[in-house]
C-alpha cells in the first residue's frame, strides 16, 4: 500500500500518514495537486492531507481539491504540532543566524524570534524540507524549524525543543481514497460541500434541514467558486454519520441546494 503526502519525509504530514496507515509506503510530493494527481492515476492507494490548523485555520487549496476531484475522506486525525529548532551536526545555537521553515511554522514561533532577535526567519517550502536543506548544504549559520521526526530522518541536531508559541497547536489531517463517499464502519461524522442560489433565505433553508433533525454542525465555512465571481460554496461538518436522519437531511438538502457533494462519512478523531 502506498500513501502520497505533500512535503518531505519527516514532515508533519509524514507523521500523520504513519499514524493513519502504519504499514504503508510514503510517497512525498512537491505540490498538493501532485498528491491528488497520483491518487487519480492509481499510482498510490490513498493520500494524507492537512485540512485545518487550530491556529492558522483552513488549508484552502485542499478544500478546493476535495471538491473538484473524485475522492472521499476515509479517516481523520488530530496531530499535536511541536516545533523544534534543528541544525546540522556540530552547529551550535550561538552560530545560528538564519532559521528556515514553512511560513506557517515561522508564524507560530513569533515569541521565540522575539526572544532571539539575532535570528532571522526565512520562508521555505516545507518544514522537514528546511532541515533537509540546511543539512545537505552543511550550512553553519542556519537551522530549520520542523518536527522531531525530521531530525531523525535527516540526522539533524535539535538545538531547542518545543519553540512554538501555543502548546495547544493541532492540525487536522484527512486520509482520502479515490471514488465517491461511502460510510466507514461506526461513522459518526460527515463532511460535505454545497452551494445555493443567491435568493433570499436560501442559506437558511439549506441549514434548516439539519436543525429540524437536531443534527449538530461542528464547522461551516465558505470558499469562492472558481470562474464564478462572488459565488460561494459552503463546507460543512456534521456530527452524525450513517443513520436515517442524516440521509433524510442530505436528501432534503439536495432539493434546496444548487450543488451538493458528500466528501466523506467517517469516524471523528
| Catalytic entry in 171, 174, 190, 235 | 171
- Integer-rounded Cα radius of gyration of the chain: 21
Contacts of 268 (CB under 8 A, 6+ apart): 76, 188, 189, 239
Cell 440521509 sits on residue: 247
| Catalytic residue chosen out of the listed positions 36, 173, 174, 210 | 173
Closest CA to 19 of 175, 159, 217, 130: 175
* DSSP bridge partners of 178: 71
Question: Quick one: which H or E segment has residue 32?
Answer: helix 32-40
* Distance, CA of 36 to chain centre: 13
Cβ(45)–Cβ(23) under 8 Å?
no
12 classed as catalytic: no
Is residue 190 part of the annotated active site? The answer reads no
Torsional class of 153: left (φ above 0), alpha (ψ -120 to 50), beta (otherwise): alpha
Which residues have a catalytic role annotated?
Answer: 171, 173
Amino acid at each position: 500500500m502506498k500513501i502520497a503526502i505533500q512535503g518531505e519525509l519527516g514532515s508533519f504530514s509524514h507523521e500523520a500518514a504513519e499514524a493513519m496507515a502504519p504499514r504503508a509506503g510514503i510517497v512525498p510530493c512537491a505540490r498538493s495537486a501532485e498528491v491528488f494527481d497520483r491518487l487519480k492515476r492509481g499510482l498510490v492507494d490513498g493520500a494524507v492531507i492537512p485540512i485545518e490548523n487550530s491556529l492558522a485555520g483552513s488549508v484552502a487549496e485542499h478544500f478546493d481539491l476535495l471538491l473538484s476531484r473524485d475522492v472521499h475522506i476515509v479517516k481523520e486525525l488530530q496531530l499535536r504540532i511541536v516545533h523544534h529548532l534543528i541544525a546540522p551536526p556540530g552547529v551550535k545555537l550561538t552560530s545560528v543566524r538564519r532559521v528556515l521553515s514553512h511560513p506557517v511554522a515561522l508564524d507560530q514561533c513569533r515569541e521565540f524570534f522575539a526572544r532571539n532577535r539575532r535570528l532571522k526567519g526565512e520562508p521555505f517550502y516545507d518544514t522537514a524540507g528546511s532541515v533537509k536543506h540546511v543539512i545537505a548544504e552543511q550550512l553553519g549559520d542556519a537551522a530549520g524549524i520542523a518536527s522531531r521526526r525530521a531530525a531523525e530522518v535527516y540526522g539533524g541536531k535539535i538545538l531547542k525543543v518545543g519553540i512554538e508559541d501555543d502548546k495547544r497547536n493541532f492540525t487536522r489531517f484527512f486520509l482520502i481514497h479515490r471514488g465517491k463517499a461511502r460510510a466507514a464502519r461506526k461513522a459518526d461524522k460527515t463532511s460535505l460541500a454545497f452551494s445555493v442560489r443567491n435568493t433570499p433565505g436560501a442559506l437558511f433553508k439549506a441549514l434548516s434541514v439539519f436543525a429540524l433533525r437536531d443534527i449538530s454542525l461542528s464547522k461551516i465555512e465558505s470558499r469562492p467558486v472558481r470562474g464564478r465571481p462572488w459565488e460561494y460554496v459552503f463546507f460543512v461538518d456534521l456530527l452524525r454519520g450513517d443513520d436515517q436522519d442524516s440521509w433524510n437531511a442530505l436528501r432534503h438538502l439536495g432539493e434546496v441546494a444548487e450543488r451538493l457533494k458528500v466528501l466523506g462519512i467517517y469516524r471523528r478523531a
